[in-house]
Homo-oligomer: A and B are copies of this chain.
C-alpha cells in the first residue's frame, strides 16, 4: 500500500470516527507504528489533522454545532450513517432527503468518492460544499423554514424528471403490511417521487420507526431495497422484512 493511500485512509477514518489510534492503524494498514507516526506527523504538518499522544483527532474538533447538539438520538444516527456510507459507490447519482440522519451521512462521505447528489435540504447542501469532488444539485422551491428544506409541487416535479442510482431517505414509520408511511402529506408525495426516480431505495431508520405506521402511504414494502438501522441486522424484529426481500444493514 502506497504512502498516499494510507494518508487518505487515515483522513477518512478520522472524519468517520472523530479519532484514530496509532496502534489500530498499524494493524489495519499492516505497517509499523513508526510509519503510522510518521504519517500522522506529515498530515499534522500539512495542517490536516491534530496529532496527539496515542493517535490523532480532527482539526477543529467539530463540536457539533449549537443546533445539532440538541439533535435527538445523534448517536444512533451516526451508527446508521456509518453503515449507509459504505453503500455509496464511485460515480453514482444519488438523491438524499432532508433527514438529520442524511446530514450525518453527508458529513462522512469519503473524500475519494465521486458522485452526483441531488438534495432539497439546505443543511445537507451546505455540508456537501465541503466535499472536494461531489457534484451537488439543489432542488429549488418554496422553503419550509423550520425543516430547512424546499417543499411543494416544484420539488415533486423536479424530482420526477430525474434518474438516480440510489436514494437515501428517512421515514415516519415502516412495516411489512403498510410499507413506508409518513405523517405529512406533502412529504409523502416528495418521497413517492424520489422512489420513482431511483434504481435502489435505501431507508435509514432508527429502531423506534420499525413497525410504526403513519397517516399517509409512501410505498409498499417491496419497493424498498435496503433498510439501514442502528441495531443488529439479525434481530428477530426484521424476520418479516427479510422474507419480503428487504436487505437489512
A residues lining the B interface (CB < 8 Å): 2-5, 8, 11-12, 16, 19, 21, 50, 52-55, 57, 61, 63, 69, 120, 122-123, 125-126, 128-130, 135-143, 145-146, 148, 150, 158
Contact = CB atoms under 8 A, between A and B. Distances in A.
Contacts of A140: 120, 137-141, 150, 158
Contact of A52 (B2, B126, B138): B2
Given A2-B55, A16-B69, A130-B145, 11 more contacts: A2-B21, A3-B54, A5-B19, A120-B140, A122-B122, A129-B148, A138-B138, A138-B140, A138-B150, A140-B140, A140-B158
Q: Which of A61, A69, A138, A148 has the most CB of B within 10 A?
A: A138
B137 A141 contact: yes
Contacts of A126: 122-123, 126, 148
A30 B198 CA distance: 47
A2 B54 contact: yes
How many identical subunits does the complex contain?
2
A161 to B, nearest CB: 11
B122 A57 contact: no
Q: Which of A3, A61, A130 has the most CB of B within 10 A?
A: A61
Q: Which of A126, A137, A140, A150 has the most CB of B within 10 A?
A: A140
Given A126-B122, A143-B129, A50 B4 contact: yes
A204 B13 CA distance: 29
